[in-house]
Amino acid sequence: MDLNTVFQCLIDQMDPEDMLHTANEVLSEMLGPKPPSAVPAGENFEFDTTSQPVEDFNGVYDAYLPLEAAPLGFQHPAAAATLNVELPAPSSYYLNPVSDDLYSQGQYFPYQWPEYDASTAAIGALPHLNLPVEMPQGLEQNLEPVVLLGMVYGNPGVTSFPPIGPASPQFSSPPQKRERNYHQYKRQPCAKNKQPYVKKPPNAFMLFLKEQRPNVTRDLECRDNALVNKVLGQRVSVLGCIYTTKFYF
DNA sequence: TAACCTTTGAAGAAG
DNA sequence: CTTCTTCAAAGGTTA
C-alpha cells in the first residue's frame, strides 16, 4: 500500500470534526502566535499613528505598519494591481480594521473590513466578503487581515506602498526559507566565454518578473531591481499561499 | 567592465 | 533520493 493510499484511508476514517480540529491546529502552528490587538480607529476615523505588527506568511512578525495603513480588500485597485486581477471599477474601498468589540460580538470575521464609501464619506453597515479564500467555519479566527493580504495595504487613493518599519526583536524569528549563499557560486564557463550557447528558457517566475517589474518599478519609484525582485518574490509567496489555501480547503 | 545584488524554478551533478 | 550548484531577467551599484 503506497503512502497516498494510506493517507486516503486515514482521511476516510477520520471524523469530520476531528479533521477540522486537526486542520485548525496545523493552521495555528503554521501561522504562529497572534499579534497584539490593533487599536480601533478613533472618532470620525481619525487615524491613530500607533504601529501594529505585520506578520508574513511564514508566521514571522517582521515589520510594523502604521494603523492607518490598513489592509485593503481585494476590491481595492492597489490590491488588484498587486494581485494582477481585473476588477470592475469599484465605487468604494475598504478602510479601517474592525474593532475588537465587533470581533467579539461576532459581527465581523477577522478578515472582513467595514466598507468606506468615498462619495459619501460614510461607513457601510455591512462588510463585503468577496475574498477568493473561503475558510470553513471554525478556521476563520486564524486569519488576520495583514496576514491574508501580506504586503497589500494602504488607504483609498494610495497607489504606492508606504515604507515598512524595522523589524521588532520581540516578534522576530529566524527565517524559515533556506538561505542561499550566492557568494560561493561561480559562473559557468559557458556563460562567460564568447562562444554561442543556448540560453536557459525563463521559468514561470522569470516571466512573472519580466512582466511585473515595470509596474513595481513605477509603484515604488525605485529602479533597484534587487529590491523590486524581492518585492515580487514576496508577492508570489502571498499568492501561492492564498491559492494553496484555497485549493487545500 | 565584470561581477554583484535579489528573487523562484528548473535541471544537472554529486553524494 | 536528497542536496547542492548554476542560470535564466533586469538595471543600479561596486570593485
Q: What is the pLDDT of residue A214?
A: 92
Q: Specify the long-range contacts of residues A97-106, CB closer than 8 Å, at least 24 apart.
A: A97/A38, A97/A40, A97/A41, A97/A67, A97/A70, A97/A71, A97/A145, A98/A127, A99/A40, A99/A41, A100/A37, A100/A38, A100/A40, A101/A40
| Burial (CB count <10 Å: 0-12, 13-18, 19+), residue A51 | middle
What was the pLDDT predicted at A89?
A: 33
Place of cell 466578503: A129
Q: What is the pLDDT along chain A (249 residues), one digit of tens a residue?
A: 444 454 455 555 656 566 556 555 655 555 555 444 444 444 333 333 334 444 433 444 444 443 333 333 333 344 444 444 433 333 222 223 333 333 333 333 333 333 323 333 222 222 333 333 333 444 444 433 332 333 333 333 333 333 333 333 323 333 333 444 444 444 444 444 456 678 888 998 999 999 999 999 998 888 889 999 999 998 887 776 666 555 555
Nearest nucleotide to A214 (CA to C1') is C10
Q: Where are the strands (E) in A119-189, listed by range?
A: 122-123
Which pLDDT score is estimated for A234?
87
Mark residues 169-228 of chain A whose C-beta is closer than 7 A to nucleic acid strand B. Answer: 177, 180, 182-183, 187, 192, 200, 203-206, 209, 225-226
Protein A182 CA to nucleic acid B5 C1', in Å?
9
Pick the closest to residue A143 from A2, A10, A16, A35 (CA basis). A35
User: CA nearest A238: which of A134, A152, A165?
Assistant: A152
Strand B: positions under 7 A of a protein C-beta atom: 2-10
Residues 213-232 of A with CB under 7 A from strand C: 213, 223-226, 229
For A208, residues 6+ apart whose C-beta sits below 8 A from its C-beta are A232, A236
- pLDDT for the residue A16: 59
Q: What's the CA–C1' distance between A111 and B12, in Å?
A: 44
CA–C1' gap, A33 and C14, in angstroms:
41
